[in-house]
Amino acid sequence: TQNWIVLPIFPLTSSMERAMRGLPPFAWEPEKGTHIAFIPRNGTVADVKWVSAPASYVFHPMNHFETTDGKVVVDVMKYDIAPLFPLPDGSPSSKTPPAARLFRWTFDLSGQANTFREEQLDDRAGEFPRFDERYCMSDYRHGWIVSGNVPEAGVRRSEGVTHYDLKTGRNATWNAGEDDRFGEPVFVPRSDDAAEGDGWVLCTIYRSGEGRSDLAVFDATEIARGPVALAHLSSRVPAGFHGNWRPGPL
């Protein structure tokens, strides 16, 4: 943020000694809890502040900023249990696949006891949050995720892209077909001086039932209307993550 480097430390541990005994090199140890360090950008080690929180795991934050009264806000896709990793003895960490949901963490570092407040912004499962990056470290309004339900017995997985208006609390989703998978969304502003969220969201859609892919273009704040354009790609692109928009010629 403007004044802090925020370093969350989650209870997903690595251990070479454990691995040498034939146990998982990476394991979920929730009893260790979550600890967030706030490192001042213009201070020293002595100025670091710590906040402790219940065990959780985050792969991807959406955005982060400071409020006018000095609080630090971090929006994250939070898992209650780290996915993909077992307990230290190798047993599963969860009976069902954990899912991430959008949460807002608000930290007050002004007192002797640094405080933490958590607010769940949506019940919908999802991942790969993005926002209008011109508003990085600023109090912002618009965000997007790849969204879906939690797979359950007898329920076909659905997948889509969701737009959040964080000022009104409203959200809107467009779902693809049952056999389709979204790649991470990318926001493209309509112009350099366009208002926040005025532009397009690009996503690759892997049509697994057909073995091909499309590039979908959405009006960024009218996601529920569906793609305004589809580019049929010449080669199959499986669903993936972490891309960006580069204006101009290649």
User: Cα separation of 4 and 19, whole Å?
Assistant: 35
User: Tokens 């454990």 label which residue?
Assistant: 18
> In this structure, are residues 96 and 116 in contact, taking their beta carbons and an 8 Å threshold?
no
The arithmetic mean of pLDDT across residues 145-149, rounded, is: 86
**Of the ranges 38-47, 66-75, 224-233, 239-248, which one carries the lowest mean pLDDT score?**
239-248
Give residue 6's pLDDT: 96
Q: What is the pLDDT of residues 94-136, one digit of tens each?
A: 998 899 999 999 999 987 778 899 999 999 999 999 999 999 9
Asked if residue 156 has pLDDT above 60, the reply is no
Give residue 158's pLDDT: 63
Asked if residue 247 has pLDDT above 80, the reply is no
Asked if residue 153 has pLDDT above 70, the reply is no
Q: What is the pLDDT of residues 5-45, one digit of tens each?
A: 999 999 999 999 999 999 999 999 999 999 999 999 999 98
> In this structure, are residues 164 and 142 in contact, taking their beta carbons and an 8 Å threshold?
yes
Give residue 179's pLDDT: 87
Asked if residue 148 has pLDDT above 70, the reply is yes
pTM for the structure as a whole: 0.91
User: Cα separation of 235 and 213, whole Å?
Assistant: 7
88-126 as b/e, with b when 16 or more CB fall inside 10 Å?
Answer: beeeebeeeebbbbbbbbebbbeeeebebeeeebeebbb
| Percent of the chain's residues with pLDDT above 70 | 95
Q: Helix, strand, coil % (nearest 5) of the chain?
A: 5, 45, 50
Give residue 40's pLDDT: 95
Asked if residue 73 has pLDDT above 90, the reply is yes
- Confidence band of 223 (pLDDT split at 50, 70, 90): very high
Give residue 159's pLDDT: 86
Give residue 250's pLDDT: 55
Asked if residue 1 has pLDDT above 70, the reply is yes
Give residue 110's pLDDT: 87
- Confidence band of 152 (pLDDT split at 50, 70, 90): low
